[in-house]
A and B are shown apart, each in its own frame.
Chain A
Amino acid sequence: MNWSIQLKNRHFQFSSLKEVLAKSSEEKTGDKLAGISAVSSLERMAAKVVLSEIQLKTFFENPVIPYETDEVTRVIYDDLNQTIYREIREWTVGELREYILSHQTGLQELSRISQGLTSEVISGVAKLMSSIDLVMASQKMRFQARCNTIIGEERRLAFRCQPNHPNDDPEGILYSLKEGLSYGSGDAVIGINPNIDTVESVSRLLHMTHEFMEKWKIPTQNCVLAHITTQIEALKKGVPISLMFQSLAGTQKGNEAFGLSKSLLDEGFELMKRYGTATGPNLMYFETGQGSEVSLDAHLGVDMQTLESRTYGFAKHWKPFMVNNVSGFIGPETLYDGRQMIRADLEDLFMGKMHGLPMGIAPTYTNHMYADQNDQEMAGMLTTLAGANFYMGVPGGDDVMLNYQDTSFHDDASLRELFGLRPLREFEKWLERMGIMENGKLTEIAGDLSIFD
Chain B
Amino acid sequence: MKTLTEEVVEMVIKALEAQKSSSNEKREGPSLNIKFSEYSEIGVLNPRNRDSIVRAQAITPARIGIGRAGTRMRTSSYLRFRIDHAAAQDAVRKDVNEEILKQFNLPILKTIAADMDTYLMNLDAGRKLSDCSAEWLEKNIEKGNQVQILVCDGLSSSAVESNMPDLLPALIQGLKLKNITVAPPLFIKRSRVWVQDHVASIVNCDLIISLIGERPGLATAESLSAYMVYRPNEKTVEADRTVISNIHKGGLSPVEAGAYLSDLLAKMLISKCSGVQFSQKRYLETN
Give the complex CA separation of A366 and B156 in angstroms. Answer: 13
Does B62 touch A at the CB level, under 8 Å? yes
Assuming the A-B contacts A333-B121, A367-B215, A448-B44, are A397 and B63 also in contact, with contact meaning beta carbons closer than 8 angstroms in the complex? Answer: yes
Residue of B56, B85, B88 near A449 (CB, 8 A) is B56
Which residues of the partner chain A approach B120 to less than 8 Å between Cβ atoms? 331-333, 368
Q: In the complex, which residues 14-66 of chain B have their Cβ closer than 8 Å to any Cβ of chain A?
A: 44, 47-50, 52-53, 55-56, 59-66
Q: Does A84 contact B (CB under 8 A)?
A: no
Question: Do A396 and B66 touch across chains, with their CB atoms under 8 A apart?
Answer: yes
User: Other CB < 8 Å A-B pairs besides A32-B121, A405-B85, A408-B73, 9 of them?
Assistant: A165-B62, A175-B52, A333-B123, A367-B92, A396-B64, A397-B81, A447-B44, A449-B53, A453-B48
Q: Which A residue's beta carbon lies closest to that of B69? A: A410
Which residues of the partner chain A approach B60 to less than 8 Å between Cβ atoms?
Answer: 165, 169, 172-173, 175-176, 400
A30 to chain B, nearest CB (A): 9
Q: Are A367 and B88 in contact (CB under 8 A)?
A: yes
- Per-residue CB proximity of A320-341 to B under 8 Å, as 1/0? 0000000000011100100000
Q: A397-B81, A398-B84, A410-B73 are in contact. Are A179 and B64 (CB under 8 A)?
A: yes
Please tell me if A395 contacts chain B, counting CB pairs below 8 Å: yes
B215 adjacent to A368 (CB under 8 Å):
yes
* Least distance between B119 CB and chain A CB atoms (Å): 10
Q: How far is the CA of A163 from the CA of B63 in the complex (A)?
A: 10
Contact present for A398 and B71 (CB under 8 Å): no
Distance of B191 from chain A, by nearest CB (Å): 14
In the complex, which residue of chain A has the Cβ closest to the Cβ of B91? A367
Instruction: Check if B155 is an interface residue, CB within 8 A of chain A.
Output: yes
Residues of A within 8 A of B216 (CB): 367-368, 403
Instruction: Convert A416-434 into 0s and 1s, putting 1 for each residue whose CB lies closer than 8 angstroms to a CB of B.
Output: 0100000000000000000
Shortest CB–CB separation between residue B54 and chain A, in angstroms?
10
Q: Is B262 an interface residue (CB 8 A)?
A: no
In angstroms, Cα B219 to Cα A165, docked, is 12
Question: What is the minimal beta-carbon distance from A174 to any residue of chain B, in angstroms?
Answer: 9
Instruction: List residues of A (292-327) whose CB comes within 8 Å of B's CBs.
Output: none
B141 in the interface (beta carbon within 8 A): no
B219:A450 contact, CB within 8 angstroms: no
Q: Which residues of B contact A7 (CB under 8 A)?
A: none
Contact of B77 with A396 in the complex, beta carbons under 8 Å = yes
Provide the bound-state CA to CA distance between A373 and B63, in Å: 15
Asked if A451 is an interface residue, CB under 8 A from chain B, the answer is yes
Q: Does A264 contact B (CB under 8 A)?
A: no
Q: Are A163 and B73 in contact (CB under 8 A)?
A: no
25 intermolecular pairs with C-beta atoms under 8 Å apart? A29-B121, A33-B123, A166-B61, A172-B60, A175-B52, A332-B120, A333-B122, A366-B215, A367-B216, A372-B89, A396-B63, A396-B66, A396-B73, A397-B63, A398-B84, A398-B218, A403-B218, A405-B85, A408-B63, A410-B68, A414-B71, A450-B47, A450-B48, A451-B48, A453-B49
The distance in angstroms between the C-alpha atoms of A97 and B219, with both chains bound, is 45
A179 and B65 in contact (CB under 8 A), knowing A366-B215, A403-B217, A449-B52?
Answer: yes
Residues of A within 8 A of B91 (CB): 367
Q: Are B53 and A396 in contact (CB under 8 A)?
A: no
Q: Mark B72-87, 1 if CB is under 8 A from A, else 0.
A: 1100010001101100
Residue of B72, B82, B120, B216 with most partner-chain A CB within 10 A: B120
Q: Which residues of A contact B48 (CB under 8 A)?
A: 445, 448, 450-451, 453
A413 touches B (CB below 8 Å): yes
Note all chain A residues with C-beta closer than 8 A to B275. Answer: none
If the complex has contacts A169-B59, A449-B64, are A398 and B219 also in contact, measured as CB distance less than 8 A? yes
CB distance from A212 to the nearest CB of B (A): 15
Task: Specify the chain B residue showing the minimal Cβ separation from A163.
Answer: B62
Residues of B with C-beta under 8 A to A404: 217
Are B121 and A332 in touch, CB under 8 angstroms? yes
B67 lies within 8 A of chain A by Cβ: yes
Q: Does A45 contact B (CB under 8 A)?
A: no
Binary flags per residue of B129-145, CB closer than 8 Å to A gives 1, else 0: 00000000000000000
Identify which of residues 431-446 in chain A touch chain B, using a CB-to-CB cut-off of 8 Å: 442, 445-446
Q: Given A398-B84, A400-B60, are A33 and B218 also a contact pair (CB < 8 Å)?
A: no
Question: Taking beta carbons and an 8 Å cutoff, which residues of A are in contact with B?
Answer: 29, 32-33, 163-166, 169, 171-173, 175-176, 178-179, 183, 331-333, 336, 366-368, 372-373, 395-398, 400, 403-405, 408, 410, 413-414, 417, 442, 445-451, 453
Central interface residue in B50, B60, B89, B92, by most chain A CB within 10 Å = B60
Cβ of B159 to closest chain A Cβ, rounded Å: 12
Q: Return A338 CB to nearest CB of chain B, in Å.
A: 13
CA distance A336 to B120 in the complex (A): 9
Q: How far is the CA of A14 from the CA of B59 in the complex (A)?
A: 58
Distance in Å from the Cβ of A377 to the closest Cβ of chain B? 10
Residue of A whose beta carbon sits closest to that of B63: A396
B52 touches A398 (CB 8 A): no
Tell me the minimal C-beta distance from B154 to chain A in angstroms: 10
Residue of A nearest to B61 (CB): A400
- CB-defined contacts of A405 to chain B, threshold 8 Å: 85, 218
Greatest chain A CB density within 10 A among B68, B77, B81, B122 is at: B68
Complex contacts, B122 vs chain A, CB 8 Å: 33, 333
User: Which residue in chain B gives the minimum CB-CB distance to A395?
Assistant: B62
Is B71 a contact of A410 with CB atoms below 8 Å? yes
Separation of A400 and B67 alpha carbons in the complex (Å): 18
A173 CA / B123 CA spacing, docked (Å): 35
Q: Report the 9 A-B pairs with minimum CB-CB distance, sorted nearest first.
A: A396-B63, A172-B60, A403-B217, A175-B56, A367-B88, A450-B49, A450-B52, A413-B71, A395-B62
A178 CA / B55 CA spacing, docked (Å): 13
* Bound Cα distance A179, B91 (Å): 31
* Cβ contacts B98-138/A at 8 Å (1 or 0 each): 00000000000000000000001111000000000000000
Across-interface contacts of B55 in A (CB, < 8 A): 175
Inter-chain CA distance A446–B77, complex, in Å, is 17
Q: Is the CB of B62 within 8 A of A367?
A: no
Contact: B59 with A448, CB < 8 Å?
Answer: no
For B121, list chain A residues within 8 Å (CB): 29, 32-33, 332-333, 336
- In the complex formed, the residue of A with least CB distance to B217 is A403
Is A400 in contact with B85, judged by CB distance below 8 angstroms? no
Complex contact B155–A400 (CB within 8 A): no
Q: Is the CB of A447 within 8 A of B62?
A: no
